[in-house]
Amino acid sequence: MSPPATPGPAPDDRPLGPGERADYDRLRKRESLRGRRLRYSVTSVLLLLVFVLSPLAVVATWANSQVSDTDRYVQTVAPLAKDPSVQKAVTDRLTTRVVDNVDVNGISDALSSALAKADAPPGIVDKSHLLAGPLKNAVTTAVREVIDKVVTSDEFAEAWDGANRRAHAALVKTLTGEGTSAVEAKGDAVVLDLGTVVDKVQQKLVDAGFEKAAKIPDTDRTITLFKTEKLDKAQDAMRLLNTLGVWLPVIVVVLAALAVWTSPAHRVTLVAAAVGIGVMMVVLLVGLAIARRVYLDSVPADVLPPDAAASVYDTFVRFLRNGTRTVLVAAVVTALAGYLYGPDRGARFVRSVSTRGTGATGRALARSGLRTGATGHWLESHRKWTTGVVIAAAALTLFLWNYPTPAAVALVLGVAVLVLVILAILGAASTVNGAQDRNRPLRQE
């Protein structure tokens, strides 16, 4: 048998020499740099997806709310019934249709025949046809007054809301091509059937003595809301956005969170994500303004007057604008919060001022006998955790808020800041002399 090997240090356990240590540090630095580059690359891809998808998420959420929420849809279109330009367009359209069904020339011819049979002077009979113009003007004025009273009445607004509520399936048909309703796509136009409103106007006119109003053709009971040669493509796009309406915002938030978590510089990435989303919201607002101009140029004046067309567009997209502004405000607030937690001189100054202010207030409360004791000490020592919980709660509140607005963002922000200030004051109120007393053991009372 060979003698047992003498114990000694394993070859791998020997200390590294200067050259080996330098090689080891160089390799470690290289691997660390490679890992950071990989993390930055992944973060960049995630942020790019967030920036591209964020405006689509806003539009998809708006489209989904218009399709799935009847109350929201009625709330969207309700102002049109009381818009003066829309009321004027409806009044003009119905007045023209009623007057066109009145045979004014036939009436003047009948009058000429009656005068001739009554042996009226030839001069009067020959000039009786000149009454056609004044007669038509008189009929037009009378019909317009009746229709205007109906269109500008509360009954018209109620009928408008009722028709749109019953016809909410029309929006589904317009965007998805499914179902039947009063609003539908016809060729390259989206039209609203005003049959209920026309029936009321007809009855009013008949009651006022205009029996011809009962003969308004059914083909004239529609108003063109939108007209575009790319309606089919818009329907396809909106169907896709409607499908993603629920999950696309969640995907954007998850991707942004992953980007922040993956990045070596979490705070900087958070600020970058907020700034990028804010910029995309500005781009979306600019796009809506450009789309408004394109829409107004595409609607012929004889189909819908420019002022009425502008009212229709602004009314339909006002909730989309509000949603975009809400996300923009939230992005600005997030970027500002990320900056204030940074090492810049301005951020340090703000934090220092707020800390001194809450600390002085808390110590004043402690000196007046309102000491928070162990609870305040716990709040002070766990300030990072409590701050994170408050911020997370505020973000979750906004995310779950049903149709938030910029005012809602301001409200949630104000409540969150107030809670943070109160927690800081309670933490500072645990002692009279601040940090010096907090380093001492608490006395048992």
Q: Tell me, letter by letter, the H, E, C secondary structure of 184-224.
A: EEECCEEEEECHHHHHHHHHHHHHCCCHHHHHCCHHHCEEE
Instruction: Give me the pLDDT at residue 44, please.
Output: 92
Other residues' Cβ atoms within 10 Å of the Cβ of residue 329: 20
Is 74 part of a structural domain of the chain? no
Average of per-residue pLDDT across 86-93: 85
Instruction: Give me the pLDDT at residue 444, please.
Output: 41
Average of per-residue pLDDT across 292-304: 85
Is 408 part of a structural domain of the chain? yes
Range list of H helices, 368-405: 373-381, 383-400
Looking at the predicted structure, is the pLDDT value of residue 247 above 50?
Answer: yes
Average of per-residue pLDDT across 365-387: 86
Instruction: Give me the pLDDT at residue 108, please.
Output: 64
pLDDT tens string 38-51: 888 899 999 999 99
pLDDT band at 21 (very low <50, low <70, confident <90, very high): low
Instruction: Give me the pLDDT at residue 43, please.
Output: 92
Is 27 part of a structural domain of the chain? no
Average of per-residue pLDDT across 296-313: 85
Q: What is the DSSP string of 24-69?
A: HHHHHHHHHHHHHHHHHHHHHHHHHHHHHHHHHHHHHHHHHHHHH-
pLDDT band at 187 (very low <50, low <70, confident <90, very high): low
Residues 6+ apart with CB under 8 A from 207: none
Determine the residue type at 327. Answer: V
User: In which element (H, E) is residue 225 found?
Assistant: strand 222-227
Is 14 part of a structural domain of the chain? no
**Residue 341 or residue 51, greater confidence:** 51
Looking at the predicted structure, is the pLDDT value of residue 367 above 70?
Answer: yes
Average of per-residue pLDDT across 183-209: 69
Instruction: Give me the pLDDT at residue 20, please.
Output: 58
168-186 residues labelled b (16+ CB within 10 A) or e (exposed):
bbbbbbbbeeeeebbbbbe
Q: Angle at which helices 154-166 and 70-77 pack, to 10 degrees?
A: 140
Is 389 part of a structural domain of the chain? yes
**Residue 27 or residue 148, greater confidence:** 148
- Whole-number percent of the chain with pLDDT over 70: 67
Is 238 part of a structural domain of the chain? no
Rounded to whole angstroms, the Cα distance separating 106 from 436 reads: 104
Looking at the predicted structure, is the pLDDT value of residue 290 above 80?
Answer: yes
pLDDT band at 445 (very low <50, low <70, confident <90, very high): very low
Task: Reduce the DSSP state of residue 235 to 3 states and report it.
Answer: helix
For the ranges 8-12, 67-71, 257-261, 398-402, the maximum mean pLDDT occurs at 257-261
Instruction: Give me the pLDDT at residue 442, please.
Output: 43
Is 390 part of a structural domain of the chain? yes
Looking at the predicted structure, is the pLDDT value of residue 60 above 90?
Answer: no
Mean pLDDT, the chain, whole residue set: 79
Domain around 350: 345-438
pLDDT band at 149 (very low <50, low <70, confident <90, very high): confident
User: Taking Cα atoms as reference points, which of 296, 264, 443 lies closest to residue 371?
Assistant: 443
Within its chain, how far is the Cα of 358 from the centroid? 37
Count the domains in the chain: 1
**Residue 104 or residue 306, greater confidence:** 306
Instruction: Give me the pLDDT at residue 260, please.
Output: 92
Average of per-residue pLDDT across 386-397: 91
Looking at the predicted structure, is the pLDDT value of residue 213 above 60?
Answer: yes
Looking at the predicted structure, is the pLDDT value of residue 55 above 70?
Answer: yes
Instruction: Give me the pLDDT at residue 38, please.
Output: 84
pLDDT tens string 106-130: 666 666 666 666 666 666 656 556 5
Looking at the predicted structure, is the pLDDT value of residue 154 above 60?
Answer: yes
**Residue 105 or residue 83, greater confidence:** 83
Is 430 part of a structural domain of the chain? yes
Average of per-residue pLDDT across 182-196: 64
Average of per-residue pLDDT across 286-312: 88
Average of per-residue pLDDT across 373-398: 89
Contact 414, 394 (CB under 8 A): no
Instruction: Give me the pLDDT at residue 58, please.
Output: 92
